[in-house]
Structures are given as C-alpha cells and as structure tokens.
Chain A
Amino acid sequence: MATEEAQIMELMPFLISFRLAFTVTLILAAASFPLAWLLAVKKFALKPVLEMLVTLPMVLPPTVIGFYMLAALSPRLAFGGALEKIFHTQFVFSFAGIALGGCIHSLPFMVQPLKNGLQSLDRAQAEMSRVLGKSELETFLKITLPQMKPYIMTGLLMTFVHTIGAFGVVLMVGGNIPGVTKVASIALYEKVETMDFSGANLYAAILVGISLIAVVAAQRFGAKRGEVK
C-alpha cells in the first residue's frame, strides 16, 4: 500500500506538469488570438510597446518574471487582493498562481506563431469568400482558420512543451508544494539536490521524451516555410 502511494507521489509531478501545460495552452489559445491580430493587422501608436511587452517573457530570466508575479499576486497588495476577491481563490503558492505565471511566461510562444500566420494570410481568399456571399464569421471559420492551421499547431505545441519545462516562474510563484505546485522540473531539481541520481535520470529522460515528441509533432503538423497558400 505504502509502495503504491509512493509510486503515485513519484508520478504526481508529471501529472501536475501536464495539467499545468494543458491549462496554460488552453487559456493562451483563446486569449492570444485577439492579441496576435492586433499586432499583425492593426496600426496604433502603442503597438511597439505592446510588441515589446509580449516579447519580454522570452528574454527575461524566468525567476525575474516569477519574482514580480509573486509581488503582484500578494493578497496584501491591491492587485493580488482584488484578484482573490474576484476569483475567490488564493493565487500565491497555488495551482491558479502557477497557471497565471505559466501564461505570462509562455505568452510569446503562442502569440508569435499566430502573428506570423495572420501576416502570411492570403487576404484575397477571404475577400473572395465575402464576394461569394459568406459572412465574416463563416469566412473566418472556413477560409482563414484552415489557412492558419499550421501556425496554430506550432503555437499550441510550443506553448505546451515550454510550459512542461517551466521551472523558475513556477518555483517563485508556487513554491514546491507536493501534489499542488511541485512540477516535474522542480522534482528533478529536488532529486539532484538529494543525490538521487537514478531518479533524476528517469525524470530527465521522460522530459526529453516529451520534448522530442513535441518537436517531431511540430515538424509534422506545424508551419513550414512556403506551406500556407
């Protein structure tokens, strides 16, 4: 019985990592489209600032993002307090907190492919659909989205795999709470710290396997140069 429980606890960091990756990927899939559309299509004065903010998580050390998020989400401060009141949940040292941190951390990995996809669209096809009597919604669903498919796949895969490997942000915002915020990458770090190298090897190999699968899938289904017509 104790062995079974121990095995479950060994697997738990992977389950949390997967749950986190799915949650972040789903949230970003919905939230990034308008943002990518603004950056790809619209012209406005603050566009360079927005572009910089979206790219920033890609270059900032994750611990820096985590530190500022930890400060911002603190229930003692106005923003964190307001969030807790609205969502009736604690964000610091919780799954909700690491999901929010993961969204900020992985934002460019979803927005950038979608932006590239929107910029490479053949607008003449959408125009032709309108001339053929179709509404803007039908045109978006039947003409624009299929053209965007490789870019959407790239965004989904890159976001998923990037979140699976998240370490700094998760550690800062979520701590290392077993069964709640202890993800696979943190568990791996813990294994090394406690000199459990065979366990560390296993965790690392699994993470490498997941990343390889994502890279192969991105090559198979993702955007390739000149693919979209």
Chain B
Amino acid sequence: MLEINVVKKFHSDAGDIEFRPRLNIAAGTFNMLFGKSGSGKTTLLRMIAGLAEPDAGDISSEGKSWTDKGRVITAPQDRNIGFVSQDFSLFGHMTVEENVYYACGDKKEADRLIEASGLSALRKKHTDRLSGGQKQRVAFSRAMARKPGLLLLDEPMSALDGETRCVMRTELKSAAGRGVTIVMVTHDVAEIFALAEKVFVIESGIIAREGTPAEIFINSMTPNKFALTGEVVRVEKNGAVNVVTVSSGESAAEIVVSRFEAAQLHPGDTVLVAAKDFRPVLIKMNRGGLCLKTETRAAGAGIMMTARNS
C-alpha cells in the first residue's frame, strides 16, 4: 500500500495552487491520475518518485516512510520504482542497449528486454536519433529493467500514434498482470477505460473523486439529446444485454446494443453516438473519422447511462 498525504504549494498556468492530495494506492493495482493541465498530476508523480519535496506531509510505502514531514528520507534510488516521463528523459549520449543496460546492469536481462520490445534492430542507435514511438519503447524497457515494484508513468502515450499506443497498452496490461503497482497520468478517458482499475480525479488542489472508471465517468444524468464521436473502449455482455462503452474527450457513454451490433464493434473502433428522444444511433466510423456504411439503431432500452463532462 502506497499512502500519500502531503501539501505542496506550486505555481502553474492556472495560478498559485496549494495542492493537498490524500490517497491510498493498493499494491498491484493499475491507477490513473486524471485532471486538467496544471492541476498537480506531474508534481504528485515527482513527489512519489522523490524528485520533488512536499512542503509538509508524509508518503509511505508498505509501512516504510519515504517522505516524513515534508523531508525526503528515502532517496529516489532506494525506492525501487520505474519512471517514464513525458519527454522520456533518455540518455542521449548512450545507445539503446546502453540505456537499458545502465538501468539493470545485467547484459542478458538488457538483451531480453530489447528483444521483447522489438528494439533489436535499433540497439546500437543513439537514442536522440529515434522516433517518438521508438523512444517510448526504450523508456519503458529501461523503466522495467530494474523490475520495479511501482511504475510511474507521466502521459507516456501522449505523443504516440494509434498503433504504438495499442502496443503500449498491451505492455502495460502485461506489467500490471505481473503484480507491478502502476500510477499513470493521463488526459485520455479511452486509456482509463482500457487500463485503469481505479481513477483519482484531481480538482482544485485535492483528490476530488476516486473510483472505478465507470463510477467516475458514467452516471445517469442523461440529457435527452446528445451526440458524440468517440472510441469504443469496451464491448461486454452485461446479463441479458450487450453494452458498448464509448469514450470521447473527457466523457464516456454506455450504450445498449443488439448482439449483432456488439459482434461488429471492437475496442479501438471510432463511432458516432447520437441520441434523440432516447433513441440512440451508433455509427461505426473508420480510424480517420470518415463515416462507413453501417448505421444501426439500438432498439428498445436505448441509452442506459451516459456521461457528464467531468
């Protein structure tokens, strides 16, 4: 269990903020920090990593104090964490394999990670010559090289294309499956639905809400008329009905569809959802956003729940 109860004053684009996050993160869970830019998400990650000192408060992990009364007492190198920052912070004077080897100090393990990440062809390349997606893979391999108990990710997918994003999601799910506790900052609701077990929403300097993605983003405050274009993040059978969860920006909706429609839809599909007098229309689109031929009308139950803007 990672317990955080700190105070940190800082300046952001939103002005001076007194940030008072108080949260408990269960071991082996996948957690997401969600909030507006400048709300303190990155600051919180840096405090957990020991790279920023809180002004007051404590951070402890499994009963061991990391920060006590605002003072860092467990150095970053003693926390057994992996950290992937937004800009990846790769060592530009080192090659791909040197970056990974630097983290684990074990040639065989470095080779295995490079192989597993599909970086074998790039191993002798200096990291400042890689594309964004390649850098992200090196940063992730390097972070995992230490076999961390806690993995901190600061919007690691913000600069990635759709395909690389899918690969990254799979790798993150696999890390979570191995029992690594993950705390990830994101703005993307689709990512949250695809990966998170628990979401912490940061608003006005505090953890305003916490819960599962559905608890946070979906409620029954359904407007009669709405339309949104989004990404299918989940297709599931919920009892006798099939429910498709669609995320769009900072909103999400759950839509009841027929068995036939459910079979046509997959996570990652782009769809248009529209409702008029509780008669939802769900139109599948291609990844570029152009409408395809299929137009379906959910029968009967219509929209079960829709999102409100968070």
B128 & A127 in contact (Cβ 8 Å cutoff): no
Which residues of chain A from 96 to 142 have a CB within 8 Å of any chain B CB?
A: 122, 124-125, 127-135, 142
For chain A, the count of residues having a C-beta within 8 Å of the partner chain is: 17
Pick from A132, A135, A142, A143: contact of B146, CB under 8 Å: A132
Min CB distance, A217 to chain B, in Å? 20
A146 within 8 A of B: yes
Min CB distance, B89 to chain A, in Å? 4
Using CB atoms, name the residue of chain B closest to A122.
Answer: B89
B89 & A147 in contact (Cβ 8 Å cutoff): no
A225 within 8 A of B: no
A132 — which chain B residues lie within 8 A by C-beta?
77, 102-103, 142, 145-146
B91 & A135 in contact (Cβ 8 Å cutoff): no
A76 within 8 A of B: no
Min CB distance, A145 to chain B, in Å? 10
Pick from B75, B87, B90, B128: contact of A130, CB under 8 Å: B75
B102 & A131 in contact (Cβ 8 Å cutoff): no
A131 & B128 in contact (Cβ 8 Å cutoff): no
B77 & A124 in contact (Cβ 8 Å cutoff): no
Are A131 and B76 CB-contacts (below 8 A) given A124-B85, A124-B87, A142-B102? yes
Min CB distance, B97 to chain A, in Å? 15
Min CB distance, B181 to chain A, in Å? 15
A229 within 8 A of B: yes
A131 & B83 in contact (Cβ 8 Å cutoff): yes
Pick from B77, B89, B91: contact of A133, CB under 8 Å: B77
A143 & B91 in contact (Cβ 8 Å cutoff): yes
Identify the interface centre among B78, B89, B103: most chain A CB within 10 Å of its CB: B89
A131 & B93 in contact (Cβ 8 Å cutoff): no
A124 — which chain B residues lie within 8 A by C-beta?
85, 87, 89
Which residues of chain A from 155 to 186 have a CB within 8 Å of any chain B CB?
A: none
Report the bound CA distance from A134 to B91 in whole Å: 14
Question: Chain B 64-79 against A: per-residue CB contact (8 Å), 1 yes, 0 no?
Answer: 0000000000011111
Min CB distance, B114 to chain A, in Å? 16
Question: Chain B 207-233 against A: per-residue CB contact (8 Å), 1 yes, 0 no?
Answer: 000000000000000000000000000
A-B contact count (CB 8 A): 53
B91 — which chain A residues lie within 8 A by C-beta?
125, 128-129, 143
Report the bound CA distance from A125 to B128 in whole Å: 13
B85 — which chain A residues lie within 8 A by C-beta?
124, 128
B103 — which chain A residues lie within 8 A by C-beta?
132-133
Pick from B75, B76, B128, B142: contact of A229, CB under 8 Å: B128
Min CB distance, A129 to chain B, in Å? 8
Report the bound CA distance from A146 to B81 in whole Å: 25
B93 — which chain A residues lie within 8 A by C-beta?
146-147, 229
Report the bound CA distance from A147 to B91 in whole Å: 9
Pick from A125, A127, A146: contact of B76, CB under 8 Å: A127
Pick from A122, A131, A143, A229: contact of B77, CB under 8 Å: A131
Report the bound CA distance from A133 to B74 in whole Å: 12
Min CB distance, B44 to chain A, in Å? 15
A131 — which chain B residues lie within 8 A by C-beta?
49-51, 76-77, 79, 81-83
B142 & A130 in contact (Cβ 8 Å cutoff): no
A229 & B83 in contact (Cβ 8 Å cutoff): no
A135 — which chain B residues lie within 8 A by C-beta?
77
Min CB distance, B136 to chain A, in Å? 14
Identify the interface centre among A127, A128, A229: most chain B CB within 10 Å of its CB: A128
Which residues of chain B from 72 to 118 have a CB within 8 Å of any chain A CB?
A: 75-83, 85, 87, 89-93, 102-103
Using CB atoms, name the residue of chain B closest to A228.
Answer: B92
B89 & A127 in contact (Cβ 8 Å cutoff): yes
B83 — which chain A residues lie within 8 A by C-beta?
128, 131
Please, could you name 12 A-B residue pairs with CB atoms under 8 Å apart, sorted by A? Answer: A122-B92, A125-B89, A125-B91, A125-B92, A127-B89, A128-B85, A130-B76, A131-B51, A131-B76, A133-B80, A143-B91, A147-B93
Task: Given A125-B92, A128-B89, A132-B145, output 5 extra A-B contacts at Cβ < 8 Å.
Answer: A129-B102, A131-B49, A132-B102, A133-B80, A229-B93
